[in-house]
Amino acid sequence: MHIVIELRETRDGDLDVFWEQLTDPGLRYTPERAGASSYDREHFDTHWAGIRRDPAVTLRTVVADGAVVGYAAVFGQPGGRQVTHVIGVEHRGRGIASRAVAELVRLEGTRPLYAGAVADSAASVRVLVKCGFTVTGRTREFVRSRGEEVDVLLLTLDR
């Protein structure tokens, strides 16, 4: 079955879906979970209002077969732009993330682009590699939902 994927501008109502996804314990494999915006709705709303106003951020809501399933974004200054994406747990394993990230990096056009993925999240690493990123380093980050530092792979897209 072919899934129709769309990246569209983010709407106010999408934020409720993002909040549910970012507070889902199944998202314990993403470095973004370290931020306070994943644990306090008021902070989340303030944080996302800033993201949506920032002209340096390319933010798109990922829609699959008409349903909001997550988001993909590029942020940061030229020469250091980073890609991030979140797809709800119930929508994973269907190729949505790979297609969304591929479309986002095509829209972005600038290179290099960077990304980070928790080393033990094979699916996240696979999505980025499938989209042309290569592993270029490793670091450790504290992930609040895990309560510990974890290995994070650093990836780069040069082409």
Q: What is the pLDDT averaged over residues 65-92? A: 95
Which residues have C-beta within 8 Å of that of residue 51, sequence separation ≥ 6?
Answer: 57, 59, 73, 75
What domains sit in the chain, N to C, each tagged with a CATH number?
Answer: 5-157 (3.40.630.30)
pLDDT in tens, 4-13: 999 999 999 9
- State the pLDDT at residue 34: 45
With beta carbons less than 8 A apart as the criterion, state whether 88 and 17 touch. Answer: yes
Which tens digit of pLDDT belongs to each residue from 3-49? 999 999 999 999 999 998 888 776 655 555 445 556 788 998 999 99
Q: Supply the pTM of this predicted model.
A: 0.90
The number of angstroms, rounded, from the C-alpha of 11 to the middle of its chain's C-alpha atoms is: 17
| Closest to 18 in 3D by CA, of 32, 31, 34 | 32
In this prediction, residue 33 carries a pLDDT of 44
Mind listing the pLDDT tens digit for each residue in 111-139? 999 999 999 989 999 999 999 999 999 99
